[in-house]
A and B are shown apart, each in its own frame.
Chain A
Amino acid sequence: MSSETSFALLANATSLPWAALPEWPAAEFVRATAAELDRGARLCAWFGVPGDAGTHLVAIIAFDADNTLAAARSAPFAGHYPSLTATHPQAHLFEREVWEQHGLVPDGHPWLKPVRRTDAAGTAPANGEFFRVDGREIHEVAVGPVHAGIIEPGHFRFQCAGEEVLHLEIALGYQHRGAETGLAGGPHRATLSQIETVAGDTTIGHATAYASVLEALAGTEAPLRAQWLRALALELERLANHTGDLGALANDVAFLPTSAACGKIRGDFLNLTALLCGNRFGRGLVRPGGCHHDLEPARATTMLERLRVAVADTEQAAGWLWDAASVRARFENTGPVFAPQATALGLVGPPARACGLVRDVRYDHPAGWYRLAQAPVAVWPGGDVYARARVRWLELQRSGQFLLEQLATPPDGPIFEALPAPACPEPVSRAPDTLAVALVEGWRGEICHVALTDSAGKFRRYKITDPSFHNWTGLALALRGQAISDFPLCNKSFNLSYCGHDL
């Protein structure tokens, strides 16, 4: 319950003075965070803020049932602290990241190794230590970084007994472009285009989170019509990607009718985004203060007509998939993740909802247009490939319906208002020494952006958490006890971002 928390409360897409965050010595801070997580909070972000006297640890947590977020920090320190992961596995990758970036050592972390291996030049991420299973029947399979298809790079290390996977370890970092580190001292001229390509298939999601953070720092909001446009674009992004995923899943079980149709329909949805802004991935649409392109009535009519066709096509293509007993046989009981595991790991998005967890930023922490219009949360029990496909299908239907409704009732008004400049040393439109948080439910799940400004209103620290950062370990768990030949299918059912993770 958030009412008893010692953390500082804030709502999604708002800000808080840095001084308002409660501060404890590191050990106490970890204890306090653990207590909140025990009370049902969820870890959205955990990161370091370096300073002269050492590094602060910062925790951003969510009380989903209470529709509120909360933040706290440790006193600056260097060296060791008691690991949060030891009791709360959802922190495991965050603590590895902080260790890699700031050298703070979480004592008791069960598997402390680099996340992106940014240090030693020329050392590929896979050249590290892997968890090994010993035994005469055991063999190890290494896949990647370059994959067979047109996919981003990553390395997968399987420990197998015959066909059965006992353990999968995923080593990423190949895509590291310095997307987050480059933001310090910003925003810079290239910042918006970098944010748009943090995960290029989630341009609207990340750009909306970034714009919301900047608007929160300026103490304002985008005009209503811009919020409407952002919601339209976000749901279009979901439709395109979920349709592509259903097609890819069908392809992996050799069910070609749906695979062929979805490949094409996905493009139809991308073209709707291009109708709005010229780019199939939504580049150049969202900007701090509003949107860059409007959907005039004639354009809206075209979009509505083409959307109706695409939604009906998807309905048909998905129908073939669900009707096929052979598909069901391959999807069911493949790659299961159980609800307690999902909770412990802090999974988000479709993989979490496919375990029956009701967890959706649009519903739990509505911001922007979602305060005014909502679609029901899509949940399915089971945790297997079938459930993840089902959740995607439900979301396709609901986002399609949402779009058809919203397109019919556009709000009037401007689509852009330049951010006002509050009083601070320099005339920048960002409050000094302030922390702002924005969550957005992208098609993969919760996107979390946190900005902390310095005394001049520039970014002292900018933290990006792509949903994939929470979910990669879910994929690893899903493979336990599965046939290694089911890896592509399981992987597709998660379809996580490499670059969004590697930043």
Chain B
Amino acid sequence: MFALDTLTHRLKRGCETMAYPDGPPPALPDRHGGALRVDGARCTDGCGACIEVCPTDAITRPANQPIALDLGRCIFCHACISACGPAAITPTGDHRMAVRRREDLVLGAAGGEQLRLAAALDEKLRKLFGRSLRLRQVSAGGCNACEADTNVLGTIGWDLGRFGIQFVASPRHADGLLITGPVSRNMELALRKTWDAVPAPKIVIAVGACAIAGGPFVGRPEVRDGADAIVPVDLYIPGCPPHPLTILDGLLRLLGRLETGDRAPTPR
């Protein structure tokens, strides 16, 4: 009787996997804000209010431009947005944030107001991984939020398995690492060993502000301020934590399974 009930309940719930990427992506929460846009040209008086409030020193004033905002360091607290009178820093509501090169996360130069999307892996790697990517996850000082929102991609709503992406239990079975956390010194050795144990060719994905640049703990002597101090990184996914949609977008983009193209803010 009970087995029948379970089956009926299950049938009644139907398919709960989202249509994305074939259909439209689920909406980000309205207060999320998505990727930031930095219009250096609007920063006319150079008051530096944003620099003073930023908890992770993500905003600097380079010699040749009014402000530069490093989205890799950013934890999206929005303090700078409120502090900025002329609205030089604004939320775009766009969930897409993954980039291939660290320097692409720095916004604010003329023509560099918004992120450039990550390019796919080269032809050879895409042939290898495009339809089947096995990742080993290493948390190295992560706070368990980046981990949780990576984990959620395995649930029925997101169903990462349908893209051939899977998290595996051994580095020997993996095509690469997905790293969260700033790399605490106490995890440095374990991360290195895990990386060594993955057979080549291999890729590394850094998820979250911590893994990119140290996150809220940037500069603490107990951490290494990001994964690329230890291993070469192929994909950076900003956020604190990145929304699951942002992580999925990054993974699919890396595998060349989403259209690239210019970054246009999604209307909100």
Contact = CB atoms under 8 A, between A and B. Distances in A.
A146 B5 CA distance: 39
A335 interface: no
Interface string A162-190: 00000000000111111101100000011
B173 to A, nearest CB: 11
A499 B143 contact: yes
Contacts of A189: 53-55
A284 B78 contact: yes
Contacts of A182: 217, 220
A293 interface: yes
A152 B147 contact: yes
Contacts of A281: 145, 148, 241
B189 interface: yes
Interface stretch (A76-84, A192-200, A377-385, A426-434): A192-200
A178 B217 contact: yes
Contact of B9 (A121, A124, A278, A316): A316
B223 A283 contact: no
Interface residues of A, number: 65
Nearest to B82: A292
Contacts of A284: 77-78
B83 to A, nearest CB: 12
A278 B190 contact: no
A41 B171 CA distance: 48
A115 B33 CA distance: 40
Given A124-B190, A193-B56, A280-B243, A153 B217 contact: no
Interface string B205-224: 00000000001111011110
A177 B217 contact: yes
Interface string A259-288: 011011011000100111111110110000
A153 B141 CA distance: 8
Contacts of A196: 216
A177 B214 CA distance: 10
B149 interface: yes
Given A200-B142, A278-B29, A150 B6 contact: no
A151 B77 CA distance: 25
Contact of B186 (A175, A266, A316, A323): A175
A257 interface: yes
Most chain B CB atoms below 10 A, which of A116, A150, A199, A200: A150
Contacts, number: 188
Nearest to A152: B139
B252 interface: no
A459 to B, nearest CB: 16
B216 A194 contact: yes
B199 interface: no
Given A150-B150, A174-B184, A177-B222, A499 B32 contact: no
Contacts of B6: 257, 320, 323-324
Interface string A461-491: 0000000000000000000000000000000
B75 A193 contact: yes
Nearest to A319: B9
Interface of B: 2, 5-6, 9-10, 13, 16, 29-33, 53-56, 75-78, 136-152, 154-157, 167, 169-171, 181-182, 184-190, 194, 215-218, 220-223, 240-241, 243-244
26 contacts: A122-B185, A146-B138, A148-B170, A150-B139, A152-B139, A152-B142, A152-B147, A153-B138, A174-B186, A176-B141, A177-B184, A177-B220, A190-B56, A190-B216, A196-B216, A197-B216, A200-B144, A200-B148, A203-B145, A261-B156, A263-B155, A271-B29, A278-B31, A278-B32, A280-B29, A498-B144
